[in-house]
Amino acid sequence: MLRMRVAVALVTGVISAASLAGAEVVTPAPPWENPARCAFVHHEIEAALDPTTAGLHATDWVLLVHPADVPAARRAPFLLNRSLAIRSIEAFDRGRPFPLRWSEGERWEPCDFWERPEYPELAGLGHARQIDLRPAPPALAWPESLLLVVTYEGTVYDSLRAPGADYQRGFETTSGLIDPRGVYLNGGSLWYPRRFDPPCPFQIRAQVPAGWLTVSQGRRVDASDTLDAGAPIPEGSPILWDCPEPMDDIYLIAGPYRLHEEEHHGVAIETFTYGNDDEDLCRRYIAATRDYLDLYSGRIGPYPFAKFALVENFWQTGYGMPSFTLLGSTVIRLPWIVSTSYGHEILHNWWGNSVFVAAEQGNWCEGLTAYGADYLYKERESAEEARDYRRTALQGYLDYVRTGRDFPLTEFRERESASSEAIGYRKSMMIFHMLRRHFGDEAYWRALGEFYRQFRFRSASWTDLLGVFASLSGEDLHAFHAQWIARAGAPELKLDSVDLLTRSDGGADLSYRLAQTEPTYALEVPVRVTFFDRAPESWTVRMDGTSFAGNRSLAARPRSLEIDPGFDLFRRLHRGEAPAAISQLMGADTLTAIVAAGTPAPLLEAYRATAAEMSRSIPTGVRDDSGLVLADLRGGGAWVLGEPSWSVRLRELLPRDVAIDAGSFTVGGQRYDRAGHTLVLALPHLAAREEALGWMLASDPEAAQAVGKKLARYGKYSYLVFAGSENVAKGTWEVERSPLKVVWEEGK
């Protein structure tokens, strides 16, 4: 293999790592406070991959830096995957060999990398081996910069694992694998010498089988002129990926890809897919990428990288990396992905991939990305879709974040369960919605643009983000941070009393009192009054204590008074504001699964398997319906599987437009044959007000088991219909009454 130009220059002392032959590089100052008082500030990696044996052979030219006068007795440690053996380590000080000795430990010591390690977050690094470096005599101190040449080889194959039992919506995971179907390596794979220093630039060139391509961050800098769309790369022509931007992770993805590419305003838009017949698919993604880049560049600032690539994965993922996204082969072909989740991953290149997250103070970027992508797309569809999205976000918090599961946003790092998602994504998203409502559209996007400009390729915290809003507006947001970011929980509002006095002129005087539970929040509460013959009136009241008394003179008699009718305020919903939904069952502390005893044997076993699937994430007791009535189900949520002897009582709970008989059922205005369909319902639980009652009716045992495994994906819905394992209908019950709404009849 040929050494890359920067490595050669570093060895000979011609240039420094930061210059990179004139490339613009942002390299943060190393954190000399770490125990080793050193940092890796640039990597150049040459690798050869053998997918048939999971083999990796690599050399990393890595620049190690120290402050002045660090004694030779102080170790410089790094980590490498245990399955990789080091063949040699050489060192060069300004082009001259430098005496170095190294040793390998049986275990690694987090205290060698951090003064105060966050041990729970390091649990996934059990495959790490620590290598300690020291200058050899006669050297008495570390040079301020030293080029290390580390050659190593071995295998990397961590089999795919199912997501955690408490978060079935997640993807299969791996710390890294080299497989005949494809290659996935990231920083957690420890496939290259790794410390935990500030982000740094890198280059990588990897040899792969004929017909394969590699993908990483940055841009392709060779073979690009001879690469035809859809053509394989000849063996012996590895692609060089050059990433001058600082990264805290180095990805290496590879597979039997076909490349399609288009340039848009200086950005290479690329697709790496497996199929030879993906022309239409790739065109759709390239066109969508153009639109997303224009949307966010116009609102936030210039796209930060040289490319954005859609990369197909051989198992189902939805990952967003700097300058590319890795989506499963089934995922990218789902018709709605290109207009929903795909834009989310592109926006992450502004939030998280170029403005880094100072995670020790809380991860702000997931909520900001969800709000600027998933929510914004709904808002562009219609006001009603946006309102429904906000209500669903609040219902997710209500259903999943129960006693003992809450924590402040300062403690959110990443999504690992439904409850952590409800806080880190949904609560956080609503915080940004409240900021936008408070400051207005123009000021909101101007502040985000300034935040991006100031912190591009730097780490930023919630404090930094709110500091930009405060600086541009002149407002003090310390109290905002204290109650929404640093405090767990949510306000709970109540409409205590309402009085309406009709005047002789046809108008009316409205008096109302709001209350909130303690500890109280400073709230900007939206209020709306509707009329029989004129447009609604809306206003916002400031509520700082346990109660607020409001008065309003109205020009006509109102039809209704509504508190926060658009779900614009982050708060804990009343159960009466939200329909019964699958999420209410998935968020229960415990479940009881009632299997109808009269069910035919094959289906009975399928129902029991479904109950066992539920027990993977929630403690679930299983029993049959003998001697049981609904009033007995007082603790936790309940699933009824099949038709118990008291199913007539269940039918009394059905909404007016739902009907079930011996041969068919009707839901969502559509009639379905029971012989070919599975029905899933979430109903109010009369014996436990905070819980829901689920009901599954199936005819095919295989379908029943398949549906049971998918339920967590459909949390927001009240009813589901499946043909086999395919969902063919879904919806939510309408909420007709709300404890935060008063309705008057006309003329009374």
Could you read off the pLDDT of 267-326 as tens digits, one per residue?
999 999 998 778 999 999 999 999 999 999 999 999 999 999 999 999 999 999 999 999
Q: Is the pLDDT of residue 10 over 80?
A: no
> How many CB atoms neighbour CB 12 within 10 A?
12
Closest CA to 446 of 474, 472, 475: 472
Q: Is the pLDDT of residue 343 over 90?
A: yes
| CB 364 within 8 Å of CB 465 | yes
* % pLDDT > 90, the chain: 76
Confidence of residue 120 (pLDDT cuts 50, 70, 90): confident
Q: How far apart are CA 201 and CA 18, in angstroms?
A: 9
Q: How far apart are CA 542 and CA 498, in angstroms?
A: 18
Q: Is the pLDDT of residue 480 over 90?
A: yes
Q: So what's the pLDDT on residue 733?
A: 94
Q: How far apart are CA 697 and CA 677, in angstroms?
A: 9
Domains and CATH numbers, the chain: 5-163+173-207 (2.60.40), 355-485 (1.10.390.10), 493-578 (2.60.40), 582-731 (3.30.379)
Q: How far apart are CA 6 and CA 12, in angstroms?
A: 10
Query: Which residues fall within 8 angstroms of residue 614, CB to CB, at 6 or more apart?
Result: 591, 593, 620, 639, 708
Closest CA to 607 of 714, 717, 698: 698
Q: So what's the pLDDT on residue 164?
A: 58
Q: What string of H, E and C letters represents the secondary structure of 358-424?
A: CHHHCCCHHHHHHHHHHHHHHHHHCHHHHHHHHHHHHHHHHHHCCCCCCCCHHHCCCCCCHHHHHHH
Closest CA to 455 of 445, 465, 444: 465
Amino acid letter, residue 543: M
Q: So what's the pLDDT on residue 327?
A: 96
Confidence of residue 230 (pLDDT cuts 50, 70, 90): very low
- Per the structure block, which two tokens stand in for 84? 């990789």
Q: So what's the pLDDT on residue 193?
A: 98
CA angle 323, 58, 90 (to 5 degrees): 115
Site of tokens 């129902």: 607
Confidence of residue 520 (pLDDT cuts 50, 70, 90): very high
**Residue range 705-712: average pLDDT?**
90
Confidence of residue 30 (pLDDT cuts 50, 70, 90): low
Q: Is the pLDDT of residue 178 over 70?
A: yes
Q: Give the 3-state secondary structure of residue 26.
A: coil
| CB 66 within 8 Å of CB 38 | yes
Is residue 301 left, alpha or beta, with left meaning phi > 0 and alpha meaning psi from -120 to 50? left
501 or 225, greater pLDDT: 501
Q: So what's the pLDDT on residue 432?
A: 98
Query: Which residues fall within 8 angstroms of residue 280, CB to CB, at 6 or more apart?
Result: none
Backbone angles phi, psi at 395, to 5 degrees: -70, -35
Q: Is the pLDDT of residue 344 over 50?
A: yes
Q: So what's the pLDDT on residue 31?
A: 64
Confidence of residue 4 (pLDDT cuts 50, 70, 90): very low
Q: What is the pLDDT of residues 123-144, one digit of tens each?
A: 889 999 999 999 999 999 999 9
Q: So what's the pLDDT on residue 736?
A: 78
> How many CB atoms neighbour CB 90 within 10 A?
15
pTM of the model: 0.90
**Residue range 662-667: average pLDDT?**
93
Site of tokens 């992770």: 249
27 or 136, greater pLDDT: 136
Q: Is the pLDDT of residue 1 over 70?
A: no
Query: Which residues fall within 8 angstroms of residue 273, CB to CB, at 6 or more apart?
Result: 257, 258, 260, 281, 282, 310, 312, 332
Q: So what's the pLDDT on residue 714?
A: 93
Q: So what's the pLDDT on residue 13?
A: 43
By the 10 Å C-beta count (0-12 exposed, 13-18 middle, 19+ buried), 163 is classed as middle
**Residue range 375-388: average pLDDT?**
97
**Residue range 137-162: average pLDDT?**
94
Site of tokens 């420890």: 190
The mean pLDDT of the chain is 90
Confidence of residue 233 (pLDDT cuts 50, 70, 90): very low
Q: So what's the pLDDT on residue 364?
A: 98
